[in-house]
Amino acid sequence: MAHSATYPLAAAGTQARAAARTAVVPWYIWFCLAAVFCGAIGGVWDISWHKSIGRDSFWTPAHVLIYLNGVLAGIACGYLILATTFGKNSQLRDASISMWGFRGPLGAFICAWGGVAMITSAPFDNWWHEAYGLDVKILSPPHMLLALGMLAIRFGTVVLILAEMNRAGEAARAKLEKVLFFGFLFLLGMTVAVFEELTNRVFMHGAKFYVVIAMAAPIWMAAAARVSKNRWAATIVTGLYMALHLAFLWGLQLVPAEPKLGPVYQKITHLVPPDFPLLLIVGAIAFDLLRRRATNWNPWRQAMALGAAFLGTFLAVQWPFADFLMSPWSRNWIFATNQYPFMMRPDWAPVRNVFLPTEHTVGEFWMRMALALAVSVVMTRIGLGWGEWMKRVRR
């Protein structure tokens, strides 16, 4: 009797230990997230380096971190593909796809391509600077290739997490879902950063600014909200974006720096930080609150409501906040609106704290705002569709 009574307890203990083992996040996901984090730090640091010091060498610490993103992701996912293809007892073999005779998770192939693109962009970027000098714009051809590679690694990492999460039990899924939020954070941050030249505070009273934000943000918020069981998914992702951005803003100001190139129009004593983060979290809160009521709506009705809610609330807070960013009250260490790149002339709009018009008539402004609303709805619908696809990813 004693033996039969203790058997269910022993079996339950064995099942609990097995569940604990399966709840461990795989090493390659941590490896890819570390690679993405290196790229995020390196990217922000590199832009700050260009603003503060100038491109004095290819082998700056920021560049090393950026390309470490591609190297780490390429090594991890290359090994994963080879181990899945040639390993006799690979657990991932049945949960993989076939490509060019190799087998591996879909996310690993995407990350591996991104790593190759990033590494290829390095000599291209070096040649570009030797041929044409300093960057006139962020999105030069080598930087575009680099950005595509970085975006591929971020998206591939999210796909790796999703495949593992969709195959996992409840304990492992809960842990992986938390990791997934960081994956979406880096996708959102990368997408917004690509449009940095169009999201400066001098454009925040123009409709073009809101068209750009509608292109960049709702798609990831909607995808995260659809694939996650957390009712605050969009808020969590945008909250992480804001927290990381503030860490960059306040941390970089602690690093001493001075220009090594000319002409120098601004006195620089430390690294010039990025702009204060956009208030996307307010739109995300409205997005999450409304989607609870819209659960049973058809996808396009959901997209219209959620896209309008995000854009409307974001506009309501960002427009007056832009006035604050132009005021003397923001010229301090917290908001850093008095930190200018060394090459910025005193007569440029950011230094004079004035808005630049992006539309020339009231009619043009409202037509473009209507476009922003349409873009927000369409990108939300695409995000919801992607979220549905993401819920089915298992390879």
Per residue in 265-323, pLDDT (tens digit) is 998 999 999 999 999 999 999 999 999 888 888 999 999 999 999 999 999 999 999 99
In angstroms, rounded to a whole number, what is the distance separating the alpha carbons of residues 367 and 379? Answer: 18
Please give the backbone phi and psi of residue 97, each rounded to the nearest 5 degrees, phi first. Answer: -115, 165
Whole-number pLDDT of residue 124: 66
Same structural domain, 186 and 204: no
| Cβ 126 vs Cβ 58: under 8 Å | yes
> Per residue in 134-147, pLDDT tens?
554 556 677 777 78
What are the structure tokens assigned to 30, written together? 């941590």
- Per the CB < 8 A criterion, the answer to whether 272 and 49 are in contact is no
pLDDT at 134: 56
User: Is the separation of the CB atoms in 48 and 93 below 8 Å?
Assistant: no
Q: Which pLDDT belongs to residue 143?
A: 72
Give the tokens for residue 242.
Answer: 């804001």
Band of the pLDDT at 90, cuts 50, 70, 90?
low
Q: pLDDT for 99-151, tens place per residue?
A: 777 888 888 889 988 888 877 876 766 666 666 665 545 566 777 777 888 88
- Residue-wise pLDDT for 167-225, tens only, equals 878 788 888 989 999 999 999 998 998 888 899 999 999 999 999 999 999 999 999 99
Cβ atoms of 244 and 40 closer than 8 Å: yes
| Domain end position, chosen among 194, 215, 249 | 194
Same domain assignment for residues 235 and 152: no
Q: What angle do CA 178, 182, 185 make, to 5 degrees?
A: 135
Q: Is 84 left (phi over 0), alpha (psi -120 to 50) or beta?
A: alpha
- Residue that terminates a domain, selected from 194, 216, 244: 194
pLDDT at 116: 81
Transcribe 207-262 into DSSP letters.
Answer: HHHHHHHHHHSHHHHHHHHHH-S-TTHHHHHHHHHHHHHHHHHHHHTTSB---SSS
Are 238 and 297 found together in one domain? yes
Q: Give the domain range for residue 75.
A: 25-194
Judge if 244 and 218 occupy the same domain.
yes
> Model-level pTM?
0.86
- Please say whether the beta carbons of 44 and 71 come within 8 A: no
Please check whether residues 234 and 279 belong to one and the same domain. Answer: yes
Tell me the two tokens of residue 361. Answer: 């008539």
